[in-house]
Every structure is written in structure tokens, then in C-alpha cells.
Amino acid sequence: MRQIFISIFLIFFLFNCKQSTESTATDSSKTEVVDEVSNSSKAEFAIIIHGGAGTILKKNMTPEREAAYKAKLEEAIRVGYEILKDGGSSLDAVQKTINIMEDSPLFNAGKGAVFTNAETNELDASIMDGNTLNAGASAGTTNVRNPINLARVIMEESPHVMMAGEGAETYAQEQGLQIVDPSYFSTDRRLESLKRVKDREAKKEKNIDTESAYLDFYDADIKNAKFGTVGCAALDKNGNLAAGTSTGGMTNKRYGRVGDAPLIGAGTYANNNSCAVSSTGWGEYFIRAMVAHDISALMQYKGLTLKEAAQEVIQTKVPELGGDGGIIAVDKDGNMVAEFNTAGMYRASMNDKGELEIGIYKD
């Protein structure tokens, strides 16, 4: 009788252990499914912009000027946000958002473009479609009111990717884009900046080291002579990414200098398999590092997240070359990043919930 009781007890115990194991396995399976759903969550759409990076310090900013920058950043990004919210394309959102910043004298693009050494304004821009990998760019134009519009027309209406100088201007006229007198781009603020940069250059040539060093350290316009640019990256409801960049280039530039802004892969890049990026910074170094494309490549080939890839390029690779600046980007899931290694970067972002974030300074 005792042996029968022990046998029944063992059978009952083994049966319960099996049930417990199956239950645990089922619960574990449910957890993995929940994690997968959580990790695969994707924003319906997203948009992020920048208005240039550089030595942007709160101590050098008046409350009125800070308010003006924030208001214009918000105005610009809301234009793109509404397009995306209504089901419009990321390309339209990028172009129309950049138009707002090109038409403002606050930014180094369009109306607020910096001056060349010859006291002219030469503008560059580029745009890219992450769905088709088609792209368009223009460089060195002097009379096209909105260079980003020319970049898009080149992308969609021509067999080319980039046009420059007089040829690009002729094409803009043929395509019915708005042409303005070159004086339209002239602003007193930018002309004054050019004069200070030229003065500093002259002093350095005369070996007036003390004053030159003083100017280098304290004059924000001199420190930011190599910076500028506006840009936008967006994800639309159809899952298509796009990016665009527009700039007046470098203050006091000579000899038809072209920076990274109109170069696909350096200043602008978009790929539906990874992300959309717009750069702002010291163009020569961003070209050498192929910044925008490198971020996308690190995501695709190395499996990094957007944040990890942006940090690798902006905080390590570019500084190792000797350059500085920043990027804004959005990935295929709607994650956004604004990464920079300068004291500040004008920036704003909006997600599909309508949440707006605006930033200027590093902290």
C-alpha cells in the first residue's frame, strides 16, 4: 500500500512539473512577442530642421533675437508638419520648410546668405528622395530666389544631379523659377560680418597676433565665418524619407568655393532603408568625411541606431579630421536626432503627436 501511495505521488508531482514548464514557456513566448511589438513601434511621420551650427552662446544673444530665431524655426517646421499631417510627401515638406528659412534674413541661406570675398552672394542647395535615391543640387547661383526649388527641379525635370553657376541660373529661368536681382540677398548684417572677417585677415597678414587672437576668440561672426546652412529631414505617412540643405556658404569665400551643402552624401542624404540627413558645419571636413552618407552606411552595414551612428560621425570622425558642426536626421521609424559638436545649433523637431521641440544652445 505504501509503495502504491509513493507511485501515485510521484506521478502527480511529475505531471505538475510538466504543466509548470509548459506554462513558463508560454509566458516567455508572450514576453518576446510584446518586446518585438514594442521595438517595432514606428511613428506615422516626423520632421526635424536646423538653421546652422556654430559658436552660438546665450551670453551673446539678446532676448529679442533669441525670440526671433525661435519664432522662425517654429514657423518653418509647422509648414512641413502640416504637409505631413495631411498626407503630403516628405519631399514637399522638406522643400516648403526650407523655403521659409531661405526667405528669412536670420539664416545663412537665401535672403540671409553670407558674402563672398568679392562682396557677392553665391548660393548652394541639394535635395534627395529616400524612396528612389534620386537627387538634385545647384551650386554658385546668384539670382535664384529659392535654391532648394532649383535643386528639386534639377532632380525631377533633368537627367542630371548637379548644375552650377550661369548654367544652373539659365535652367532655373527656363523652368519658370523666381529670379531676383542679386541685391535681393544683400543684408547689412552679413556685409558687416564680411568686413570684420576681412579686417581680421588683414591684421593676421601683418602679424598683429595679439589683436587677431582677440578677435578670433571674442568675435562670434569671425568664429562662425565657416558655418551656416539650413536643412530639413522628414518621414511621411507612406514611409518615404527625404532631406534637403540650402546655404550661402562660407563668409569671405573665394574662387567659386563650394562646400558640402550641395554635395549628395556630404551635406544631404536620404535612403528609405536607413535615414535622411542634413548637415551643417565646416564644409571641407564634412566633404572629406562624407558625413551624411556615412551615418546611413553605419546604420545599414554596421547595424547602429541613428543616435549611435550620428554620435560616431559627429563626435569622433569629424573632430579627428579637425572639423566641427552638426547634423539633423530622422530614420525610417521616425526616430529623430540633432547631433553637434559646436556650442550651439538652431534646431526644431515635431513628431506625429504634434509635440514641438526647439533648441539653440548645447545645454
The interaxial angle of helices 90-102 and 63-85, nearest 10 deg, is 160
Residues 284, 323 contacting (CB under 8 angstroms): yes
Give the list of residues 6+ apart from residue 319 with CB closer than 8 angstroms, or none.
341
Query: Helix (H, G, I), strand (E, B), or coil: what is residue 242?
Result: strand
349 CB-contact burial (10 Å; exposed 0-12 / middle 13-18 / buried 19+): buried
> Hey, CA dihedral for 69, 71, 74, 75, is it positive or negative?
negative
CA–CA separation, 90 and 352 (whole Å): 13
CA–CA distances in Å: residue 218 to residues 51, 200, 221 = 22, 12, 9
Q: In what order do the strands lie in the sheet with 325-331?
A: 268-270, 275-281, 325-331, 336-340
Compute φ and ψ for 72, nearest 5 degrees: -70, -40
The one-character DSSP state at 316 is I
Helix H segments across the chain? 2-39, 63-85, 90-102, 147-157, 165-174, 188-205, 209-218, 220-223, 283-289, 291-302, 306-311, 318-321
Indicate if 97 belongs to the active site.
no
Selecting among 97, 142, 229, 280, the annotated active-site residue is: 229
Active site residues: 229
